[in-house]
A and B are shown apart, each in its own frame.
Chain A
Amino acid sequence: LLVLSAPAALRALPPPVAVGVLHTTRPLHTTQQSLAPVPPLPEKGGEVRHGFIPEEFFQFLYPKTGVTGPYMLGTGLLLYLLSKEIYVINHETAAAACILTVIIYGIKKFGADVAAFADKLNEEKVAAALAMKNEAMQALQTAIEEEKKEQWRVEGRTYLFDAKRNNVAMLLETNYRERLLMVYNEVKKRLDYQVAMQNLKRQKEQDHMIQWVEKNVVQSITPQQQKESIAKCILDLKALSKSAHAAV
């Protein structure tokens, strides 16, 4: 029971002090910093002379010693190392010389081709990414246009609802008339029944009365009356035949 009433009890407590307070001491979103768009990569790297000395070294020595300064420094350093045998010439030197010759020859001969190939790979990657970006933008653009068209379509909803209202009114009208017709038919049937009943009663009464009168009349004709009437009829017939003979 306590567990069930816990939410209600919690809700009844006053709200904590921190409700509605933003827990921050530094202002948010005040600078233009954002992670995108990322700045493009630099075109070329730092300059390197003779493959292993950065250009900054030559620039560093240029104000004091001019153009040949670093080379003089290099020559002097090399001679010092050799003469003091800080760099020892042994079998490793020969090996290093051969290796370096081969490497430099290879670089001079195939460097440009390899660079072009690597650049082509890079270009393909960049082109693929760019194509994806453009596709995405195009898709969003078409989505925007579709949305606008949908919004335009929505404006026609008045016509739709008018048509629907008309339909409903038509249905109601039809239903009403059907029921009206049904009521009329039913009432007519009942009235016809009553009329037929009356007619039937009248008919029956009439027939019965006629029959009764006829029966009584026939009963009342005595045999004497019958003979007299038959004799009269014969006399009438003879008179008629005479007049007929005379006419002819």
Chain B
Amino acid sequence: LPAAVLLKDTKLMDVKLGQLGSWLAMSDFTPGGITGALRRGYDRYYNKYINVRKGGLGGFSMLLAGYVVLSYVWSYSHVKHDRRRKYH
């Protein structure tokens, strides 16, 4: 039982591969929980890369790169038709 509490509170990077399923099952998927997770993620990124004295370009360009990748993923079904070969 103490292990279960600890597993729920462990961070994702500390979860072992075998425990991943149970970790996902135990995590909080209520709207409040999701909002909390998003808020925490935003705070972590903001305080690490943007809310510093001499921030560099990395903080913003990482977000740009992520947006580029995401928009490519969303438009893949449309880009698929420009392929040069049909079979790969």
Tell me, yes or no, whether A binds B.
yes
Residues in chain A within 8 A of chain B (CB atoms): 41-48, 51-52, 54, 83-90, 92, 107, 111, 115, 119, 122
Q: Take A85-B83, A88-B82, A88-B83 as given contacts and tell me if A44 and B54 are in contact as well, using a CB distance cutoff of 8 Å.
A: yes
User: Which residues from chain B contact A51 at a C-beta distance below 8 Å?
Assistant: 57-58, 61-62, 65
Question: Residue among B53, B61, B72 with the most chain A CB within 10 A?
Answer: B53
A44: chain B residues within 8 A (beta carbon): 52-56
The one of A41, A47, A84 in contact with B88, judged by C-beta atoms closer than 8 angstroms, is A84
| 18 A-B residue pairings within 8 Å (CB atoms) | A41-B52, A42-B53, A43-B54, A44-B55, A45-B52, A45-B54, A45-B58, A45-B59, A46-B48, A48-B49, A52-B62, A54-B58, A54-B62, A83-B88, A85-B84, A87-B72, A90-B79, A92-B79
**B contact residues around A92 at 8 Å (CB):** 79
Residue of chain A at shortest CB distance from B61: A51
Chain A interface secondary structure, helix, strand, loop or mixed? loop
Contact indicator A115/B54 (Cβ below 8 Å)? yes
How far is A88 from B84 in the complex, measured between Cα atoms in Å? 8
A54 to B44, CA, bound (A): 14
Task: Tell me if B85 counts as interface (CB < 8 A to partner A).
Answer: yes
Cα A205 to Cα B62 in complex, Å, equals 139
Q: Does B50 contact A (CB under 8 A)?
A: yes
Residues of B within 8 A of A (CB): 48-59, 61-62, 64-65, 72, 76, 79-80, 82-85, 88
Residues of B within 8 A of A48 (CB): 49, 56-59, 61-62
Q: Which of A54, A85, A115 has the most CB of B within 10 A?
A: A85
A46-B48, A122-B53 are contacts. A88–B80 as well, Cβ < 8 Å?
A: yes
Complex: chain A residue closest to B65, CB-CB = A52
Determine the chain A residues whose CB is within 8 A of the CB of B85 once the complex forms: 85
Which residues of chain B are near A43, meaning CB under 8 Å?
52-54
| In the complex, chain A residues whose CB is within 8 Å of the CB of B49 | 45-46, 48
Which residue of A46, A84, A88 contacts B79 across the interface (Cβ within 8 Å)? A88
Q: How far is the CA of A233 from the CA of B69 in the complex (A)?
A: 174
Report the separation of the CA atoms of residues A46 and B58 in the bound assembly, to the nearest whole angstrom. Answer: 8
